[in-house]
Amino acid sequence: MRDRIRPELRILFVGINPGVRSAITGHHFAGYSNRFWKLLAESRLVPELVTYEDDDRLPEWGLGITNLIARPSPGIDDLRPEEYIAGWKVLDRKIRRYRPKTVAFVGVTLYRAVVPLLNCPPARSALGPQLVTIHGARVFVVPNPSGRNANFTYAEMLDAFVRLRRWSVRKPTST
């Protein structure tokens, strides 16, 4: 699956890996029950309603998208631990090269899998802004918008995406 990325993005969204439908269509978050695109529009991260077929347009709005693991699978249970480590090495290079202002991990499970690879303290909270930076990029965690994610209501997901929008335009504070 091709990244939608360019230098100096406002937000780089990082998914865990493409689902089967995304791999078939060649577009990110293409699952029938995935709410990513609706959340982008309703949170006003993008100025209009878009679908997975519009993922090439994300850089127009200062947004990008990639995955930790490039291999598609029906679910994360099919992913092997060594794929996380290899995927992190590739993602680390992308972040260093493209220098997004914010890296938004899409899913608490994804972020918890990456934290040990960052050599940093555990996340202070499951969602929202994190204390760690990656090559100068601030880190934020939003819920996984998959229809299979029963951990968060749609309202909670939307709240997290709105918080990301507001937080991403704030000046970073020194810690």
Residue 123 pLDDT class (50, 70, 90 cuts)? low
Q: Which residue has the higher pLDDT, 110 or 42?
A: 42
Residue 138 pLDDT class (50, 70, 90 cuts)? very high
User: Half-sphere exposure of 148 toward its Cβ, with a 13 Å CA cutoff?
Assistant: 7
Judged against a pLDDT cut of 80, whether residue 37 lies above it is answered with yes
Topology annotation, domain 11-168: Uracil-DNA Glycosylase, subunit E (3.40.470)
Q: Which pLDDT score is estimated for 79? A: 87
Percentage of the chain modeled with pLDDT above 70: 93
Give pLDDT tens digits for 103-116: 999 998 889 888 88
Judged against a pLDDT cut of 70, whether residue 173 lies above it is answered with no
Per DSSP, the residues of the chain read: ---B--TT-SEEEEES---HHHHHHTSTT--TT--HHHHHHHTTSSSS---GGGGGGGGGGTEEEEES--S--SSGGG--HHHHHHHHHHHHHHHHHH--SEEEEE-HHHHHHHGGGGTSPPPSSSSEEEEEEETTEEEEEE----TT--SS-HHHHHHHHHHHHHHHTSPPPP-
Residue 175 pLDDT class (50, 70, 90 cuts)? very low
